[in-house]
Structure 1
Amino acid sequence: MTRTALVLAGVRPGRDPLAEFAGVSHKALIPIGGTPMLERVIAALRASGRIDRIAVSIDRPELVTLEGVEVLRSSTSVSRSVGEALEALGGPLLVTTADHALLEPDWVRHFLDHLPDVDVVAGLARDRDVMAAAPDTKRTFLRFRDGRFSGCNLFHLRDRRALRAIQLWQIVENERKKPFTLLRRLGLRAVFAHLAGRLTLAYAVRRIEEMAGCTAGIVELPFGRAAIDVDKPDDLILVRRIVEQDAAARA
């Protein structure tokens, strides 16, 4: 089965403070260990041995000239860009982001090897694994009865039925840094269960399925670093330090 990967590299509406901080036009072009983040992500996807086709979604296609990489013009939001890419490329489609600079081939293989038989899948990591891997990181965790989890910027869209989840993705995108506001979308029962410490991840997934009109699931990744992306200057400093330490350990 041919599997395509989409790397989101566009700029959100308005200025990009992190790109300005790093002195580049796009966050995806910020160098980590001497290599732009976008190229690091593409290299990891290729090294996984599970990806046959790679596409990049960016608002300025002329910035991406990597051999063997298709380029799509991004839309006005992440969710719209993903929807248009799924229409253009078809499924199954693995989606990640250019700021997932620590991405490793093993993470990609683990994610794809453990996909449930559903339309839309997201990768999550437990807080204990994230903090063990990077005690200095600051992540947003969603709390459930069965643990606290952070997103890992890895998604799988099986086919066109996954388009039904794109509208919900827009909501999640807008509220991703507001856990309680996002929780309210699941309904009052979910809110009360959360306040009582009884909300399970499985129940949240079922509610997402009902809201989106398609089947959904998660893959728990045992790699704490998988939850670390580069959103803020502190993230950039942390990721650069991790990469430098890894390079020194290999030397």
Structure 2
Amino acid sequence: MLARQLGVPAKALSPICGEPMVNHVLRSLLDAAEVGRIVILAQDMDRLRTPKTEWIWHEKRIAFRDSGGSISQSIASIAGSAEVPWPILVTTADHPLLTPEMVSEFLAEASRSDVTVGMVKQETVMGAYPDTRRTWLHFEDGAFSGANLFALSSARVEPALALWAEAERDRKKAFRLFWHFGPRLAFRAITRTISFDDALEQAGRNIGLTAHLALLSEPEAAVDVDKVSDLNLVERIMRRAVYQDDGAVGRRSEVDHISA
């Protein structure tokens, strides 16, 4: 929908401050101290190749693979391979406000469990951007919006990837999402009698792994681009950041990443 509105071949090419959206994400990942190799997953890679993204194909740390019918299936098909060994960081091309600092903050928490999910609390986001519209998951300890950051530590997460494939269409509704992990957990989610982190931990135990919530401190971590109003907000934030730039530069290191 957004790509059609903007007249570009793919959503990842949505122009933000004169650059395709995917460029912003990739540059942040390349500058993140913890990120090693980057694998881009896309259903039609040729659509991503434009004069403004040509540099991506010449970056030695970036590889390309065709994706399957869903993000989870695509990740499952290559995760743990020689090309994409564990651990793995997963993010999306519609997260142009991602920064190396966000990656570092998230991965510092990710060492605690087999699966880690990045989220931002409602008050953090709305305190900075009261007019933004996000999808909120409501629990006993508040409302949360996704940061499009996931960490997978080892082959122990394979059952989670299989469930992710089943639950992908329900990821924005807490009851439907947690129903895939059992009716009791779903009931506690819908009645808001369990915290989000406890719900994730219980979901993990139900399939034999550890799962953990990583709360991010930056409100921009929850601002992805699904519609024109999101794009306009991101451009305002980026212009303000350039004006206030402190010159901080990230570094490179050792975790694989998949960008879908």
TM-score class normalised by the smaller sequence = 0.7 to 0.9
Distance 2:224 2:79 in 1: 23
Of 151, 162, 187, the residue aligned with 2:146 is 151
In the alignment, is the contact (CA less than 8 A) between 1:19 and 1:26 conserved in 2? yes
Distance 2:193 2:80 in 1: 38
Q: How far has the Cα of 1:184 moved from its partner?
A: 3.5
Q: How far has the Cα of 1:246 moved from its partner?
A: 2.5
Output the amino acid matched with 1:31: P
Q: How far has the Cα of 1:103 moved from its partner?
A: 0.4
Output the amino acid matched with 1:86: A
Q: TM-score, normalised by structure 1?
A: 0.85
Of 12, 31, 36, the residue aligned with 1:52 is 36
Match of 1:35 in 2: 19
Moved runs in structure 1, 4+ residues, more than 6 A?
none
Match of 2:120 in 1: 125
In the alignment, is the contact (CA less than 8 A) between 1:75 and 1:81 conserved in 2? yes
Alignment CA distance shift 1:209-1:250 (3 Å) = closer
Cα deviation digits, residues 18-63 of structure 1 (max 9, x gap): 1111111111111211111111111111112221211110112333
Match of 1:86 in 2: 79
Matched, 1:97 2:92: yes
In the alignment, is the contact (CA less than 8 A) between 2:80 and 2:154 conserved in 1? no
Distance 1:188 1:163 in 2: 22
SS of aligned partner of 1:99: coil
Alignment CA distance shift 1:73-1:247 (3 Å) = same
Cα deviation digits, residues 200-232 of structure 1 (max 9, x gap): 223311331134332211211111110111112
Distance 2:169 2:189 in 1: 21
Q: How far has the Cα of 1:182 moved from its partner?
A: 2.4
In the alignment, is the contact (CA less than 8 A) between 2:176 and 2:186 conserved in 1? no
SS of aligned partner of 1:72: strand
Q: TM-score, normalised by structure 2?
A: 0.82
Q: How far has the Cα of 1:153 moved from its partner?
A: 0.5
Distance 1:166 1:192 in 2: 23
Distance 1:199 1:184 in 2: 14
233-242 vs 178-187, greater mean Cα deviation: 178-187
Higher relative contact order (CA 8 A, sep 6+): 2
Distance 2:25 2:18 in 1: 13
Match of 1:162 in 2: 157
Output the amino acid matched with 1:145: E
Distance 1:164 1:145 in 2: 27
Match of 1:140 in 2: 135
Distance 1:196 1:50 in 2: 38
Report 1:6-25 matches (<5 A): 17-25=1-9
For this pair of structures, how many residues does the alignment match? 235
Matched, 1:177 2:161: no
Match of 1:232 in 2: 227
% identical equivalent positions: 37
SS of aligned partner of 1:138: coil
In the alignment, is the contact (CA less than 8 A) between 1:186 and 1:204 conserved in 2? no
In the alignment, is the contact (CA less than 8 A) between 1:18 and 1:27 conserved in 2? yes
Distance 1:56 1:137 in 2: 28
In the alignment, is the contact (CA less than 8 A) between 1:120 and 1:157 conserved in 2? yes
CA RMSD after TM alignment: 2.1
Output the amino acid matched with 1:193: R
Distance 1:112 1:195 in 2: 29
